[in-house]
Structure 1
Amino acid sequence: MPATDVLPGKRLSLADVEREAATVLDPVHADFFAGAAGDESTARANLAAFERIRLRPRVLRDVSARSLATSLLGRPNSMPVLLSPTAFHRLAHPAGEPATARAAEAAGVTMVVSMAATTRLEEVAAHTTRPWLQLYLQPDQDFTRHLVRRAGRAGYGALVVTVDSPVFGRRERDHRNGFHDLPGGLRCENLVDDAGVLRDIVMDAGLTWDAVARLRETTDLPILLKGVLHPDDARLAVEHGVDGLFVSNHGGRQLDGAIATADALPGVAAVVPQGFPLIVDGGVRRGIDVVRALALGATAVGIGRPVLWGLAAAGQDGVREVLELLRTELDEAMALCGARSPGELGPDVLAPHLSAPTGGTA
């Protein structure tokens, strides 16, 4: 764990924050945060997919007055960025999830709290007014309902149900490092039941759309599904009354070889109603990536690993720095594209794909 919250030098990008985090993280924990499934090809593809997207900016549009503000599920967000759920923040820094929550609150953005947080969901909610809770629906439906009731009492604004994990993805870095349990003193606090027993997260390979219907009967909170990549699943989600989707491949940590999220986004956006909340995560590293995502049909983007890098590098201040770097880059990129607000970033700023010439040999 980091020995200090103050690091020398000036961090100009999320890549700088990543490099600094690597100097203070335990190498095993750094591998856990960075790693992905199999050959990690999907994690790399997430980055490459954003880089491939070229933009066609507009000019002479008077972008002197700009606003990044947007709304998510009817609540204001200072920019179209939120914190995707990530586990074990106290592996990155002793201040853990409460520090992340305070940074999110200061930045005016939504934090999605992981079911596998190392701090109780009630304590995290005490530090931010915009929390959502991520869930893996458990075979023990009573325990799922127990978590949902806790979230409602604690003021959570939505449930984010991860649906891309009927089984655990095979993450070879963790197997090589023998990293299977949290170090002493840390545990998944949300998994402690009323009897004080620490439960395991159980991936339920038997889940169907009926589980979404049962959850809807349990709560009035908005429900978003995380891990949707196929347009047919997006259609089914709308039919089942889901309130929003995360176009996500779990950061490449589940199915290696899955489509990159930026490549999946247009197909999903094409089949949901206009204005339907679509959040894309996986591979967002620059403000220009946010522009690209919005132009492809996203409502907002989620960031995961960069939050953990910021937390490791400088605690709460590091997470805030990550968010402010993205904010500055997004504002500049939006202006350079000729847009005054996120709502003005549509498909017209995307450069058309160049067709291969016909005839001859490649």
Structure 2
Amino acid sequence: MARIDTSRGYARGVQSAVYRAGIAGARPAVPTTFAGLEQAAERTLSAEAFAYLAGGAGAEHTMAANTEAFGRWQVVPRVLRDVAERDLSIELLGRRRATPLVLSPLGVMELAHPDADVAVARAAAALDVPYVLSNQASRPMEEVAAAMGDGARWFQLYWSASDELNASFLRRAEASGCEAIVVTLDTHLLGWRTRDLDLAFLPFTRGQGIAQYTSDPVFAELVRERVRHGAPADPSAPAVKVNAKSLAAVVGMARGARRAGLVDGGLADAVRSPLPRAAVETFLDVFADPSLTWDALAKVREWTDLPVLLKGIVHPDDAERAVDAGMDGIVVSNHGGRQIDRSVPTVAALPAVVERVAGRVPVLLDSGVRGGADVAIALSLGATAVGLGRPYAYGLAIAGASGVSEVVRNTIAEFDVTLGLAGCTAAADLGPDVLRPSSPVEERPSGARTRHETR
């Protein structure tokens, strides 16, 4: 991708590059709207992969509510102000960031593209956007960090049932140059994800999205111990029929375990080894801890000196307790609507959380962010920074690292345009006075869309 000229503003540089390339017949690698991204990704991906990336919990009311809640706010344009120079930067965790964007952690990116997390990492580093490395990654954090160079990266921790494994993950994150830890709190139970259930598809059971585990020395020892003691599989699980799909799953597990260094030798040796299947069973045993409570959070300070943010908070009481517990930040999130149906939309929960936190720690927001105007609304309602999720996954599916770059670039450019047209010259200028609530007549009807409609 040609370097964007930002001397007259970020958005102008992006628009100029697109329109000038268009003279020679070139068009963007990915659509510029979320609806277009989703439709193009669906055409590109398998039914199982698209369902996993696009789907939400239950009837997907929460997914719809996330985006509709942004629609309840309108930006009020202001004119005849000098907005020729605009500063998109923010202060976050002691560093000046070029933009308010953070790439939220998304798991199992191998479903979208073979380059998976590495492609996302390269795009994030090139655009100077922090990337939260997923606990459920398709590539080990060390490989992803190497692809980022000096690019800013954080690490997402899913609190495992094994404290030794949690501590090992955080040691590796520190060694990989991660600047912060994001503890995701809302996945202690797997959401009721109807699209995946209808297709009987969970990537982890096929060895996908567990590269952080299979590359970890503590986890590897848990797997070997399981094999040594001949631990049985889940007795409630039905026997797996031997057919082309199940054989392909076995080969996929073997490839992943071999790439992560869990097994030696060639692919045939890995297929014959009991370790890949044992790794999946071990992962299913330790993945989450439903008994996790606030008291356990003290352990994270024993495991790392990095700043710790708690992700999945939507209630102001929980936000206050996080601050009282010494946490360094909060991410208002409902996991993109993937965990509980009929959940409160994040942007609706944001103002109360911001008020309760009262500036003591940064408050980030994700879930439902579809473009740069949404970023401006979230910042105006008090968010310190904003996480982008599904849009970049769709960009990855459509065009790899270039697709991620264009999605993120377009989001930043639209934010820049929105900032200027609202009469502001800096991200820090955004506040409630930039917005007005939409009237009931202007609001779109509430309720979840059907699966054939664009989210």
2:369 aligned with 1:284, yes or no?
Answer: yes
Give the superposition deviation at 1:303: 1.1
Q: Paired residue for 2:186, among 153, 164, 175? A: 164
Cα pair 1:125 1:154 within 8 Å, conserved? yes
Spell out, residue by residue over 1:141-164, the C-alpha distance to the aligned partner (whole angstroms, 9 max, x if none): 111001111111111111100111
Cα pair 2:110 2:209 within 8 Å, conserved? no
Give the superposition deviation at 1:23: 1.3
Q: Paired residue for 2:107, among 62, 69, 87? A: 87
CA distance in 2: counterparts of 1:211 and 1:10, whole angstroms: 43
Letter aligned with residue 140 of structure 2 = R
The within-5 A match list for 1:1-362 is 11-128=31-148, 129-181=151-203, 186-192=208-214, 193-194=216-217, 195=220, 197=223, 198=279, 199-200=282-283, 201-274=286-359, 276-352=361-437
CA distance in 2: counterparts of 1:332 and 1:256, whole angstroms: 34
Letter aligned with residue 213 of structure 1 = A
Unpaired segments ≥5 residues, structure 1 = 1-5, 357-362
* SS at 2:62 equivalent: helix
* SS at 2:356 equivalent: coil
Which segment drifts farther, 104-113 or 173-182? Answer: 173-182
Which segment drifts farther, 268-277 or 106-115? Answer: 268-277
CA distance in 2: counterparts of 1:10 and 1:207, whole angstroms: 41
Give the superposition deviation at 1:120: 0.2
* TM-score normalised per structure 2: 0.74
Cα pair 2:323 2:361 within 8 Å, conserved? no
Letter aligned with residue 309 of structure 2 = L
Letter aligned with residue 35 of structure 1 = G
Give the superposition deviation at 1:28: 1.1
Cα pair 1:7 1:313 within 8 Å, conserved? no
Give the superposition deviation at 1:184: 6.4
Spell out, residue by residue over 1:62-92, the C-alpha distance to the aligned partner (whole angstroms, 9 max, x if none): 1111121223212232211111111011110
Which segment drifts farther, 198-207 or 302-311? Answer: 198-207
The answer to which structure has the higher helix fraction is 2
Backbone CA RMSD of aligned residues = 2.0
Give the superposition deviation at 1:22: 1.4
Give the superposition deviation at 1:275: 6.1
Compared CA separation, residues 39 and 10, structure 1 to 2 (3 A): closer
CA distance in 1: counterparts of 2:342 and 2:30, whole angstroms: 36
* SS at 2:91 equivalent: strand
Spell out, residue by residue over 1:86-135, the C-alpha distance to the aligned partner (whole angstroms, 9 max, x if none): 10111100111011000000111010111010100111111222111111
Which segment drifts farther, 178-187 or 320-329? Answer: 178-187
CA distance in 2: counterparts of 1:12 and 1:355, whole angstroms: 28
* TM-score normalised per structure 1: 0.92
CA distance in 2: counterparts of 1:187 and 1:10, whole angstroms: 25
CA distance in 2: counterparts of 1:242 and 1:275, whole angstroms: 10
Unpaired segments ≥5 residues, structure 2 = 1-25, 224-278, 442-455
Give the superposition deviation at 1:8: 8.2
Which segment drifts farther, 100-109 or 200-209? Answer: 200-209
CA distance in 2: counterparts of 1:181 and 1:352, whole angstroms: 41
Spell out, residue by residue over 1:197-235, the C-alpha distance to the aligned partner (whole angstroms, 9 max, x if none): 334152211111112111112210000000000000000
Cα pair 1:139 1:202 within 8 Å, conserved? yes
How high is the sequence identity, in percent, across the aligned residues? Answer: 44
CA distance in 2: counterparts of 1:171 and 1:185, whole angstroms: 19
Give the superposition deviation at 1:187: 4.8
Cα pair 2:30 2:395 within 8 Å, conserved? no
CA distance in 2: counterparts of 1:311 and 1:272, whole angstroms: 35
Q: How many matched pairs?
A: 351
CA distance in 2: counterparts of 1:124 and 1:10, whole angstroms: 23
Larger radius of gyration: 2
